[in-house]
Amino acid sequence: MAVIEELIRQEDNNTISFGNHLMDEKKKVLDFEVNGDMYNVKTFSEITRLEKNGKMLLETVPGATVHNFEMDERGARFAVEGAEDVQITLELEPETEYKILIDDVNVGKMKSNLAGKVNFSVELQKNASSVEIDKIG
C-alpha cells in the first residue's frame, strides 16, 4: 500500500481512499465530490479526519492512510495503513450494536453511543490492516 499523494481519490470500485500519515504539516481538501456527496479530508502525521456533507465519518489518531473506504447502512469496510497502531472513531447509527473484524478476525462487539460513535484501536500488521464493521441484527 502507498500513501494518497492527492489526499483523497475515488477508486475504480467506487470506494474512496484518503489520508497521508507521512505528512509533517496538516493539509486538507475541501468539497471533493463523489456521487453527489461532498467530502472533506484533513490529514497529517497526528490525525486524519474524513467528513461527508459536513458530518464526521472517520477519524484516526495518529494520522493514517485509509484505502477503499466504503460505508452503507450495514457498516463500513476499509484498509488502514500507518506508522504505528491507530485509534479509530467511526460515526455510525446511534445506539446500535456492531461486530468488528480486523484482518478477518472477530475482535468483538461494540455498541455505538447516542451520537452513533464507536471507538476502537487497531494493532497494525506490517503497518496495515483491514477493518470491517457490521451491524448486528
Write phi, then psi, for 23 (nearest 5 degrees): -80, 135
Task: Provide the 10 A C-beta neighbour count for residue 114.
Answer: 7
Q: How far is CA 49 from CA 24, 82, 97, in A?
A: 15, 14, 23
- pLDDT the model gives residue 1: 66
**Measured on CA atoms in the order 11, 14, 15, 21, is the torsion positive or negative?**
positive
Note down pLDDT in tens along the chain; length 137 residues. 677 889 999 999 999 999 999 999 999 999 999 999 999 999 999 999 999 999 999 999 999 999 999 999 999 999 999 999 999 999 999 999 999 999 999 999 999 999 999 999 999 988 999 999 999 97
Residues with Cβ within 8 Å of residue 72, at least 6 apart in sequence: none
- pLDDT the model gives residue 137: 76
Grid cell for residue 4: 494518497
DSSP letter, residue 82: -
Grid cell for residue 53: 456533507
Query: What is the set of domains in the chain, with CATH numbers?
Result: 8-135 (2.60.40)
Distance CA 78, CA 70 (A): 7
Q: How far is CA 101 from CA 27, 52, 73, 110, in A?
A: 30, 24, 17, 11
- pLDDT the model gives residue 93: 95
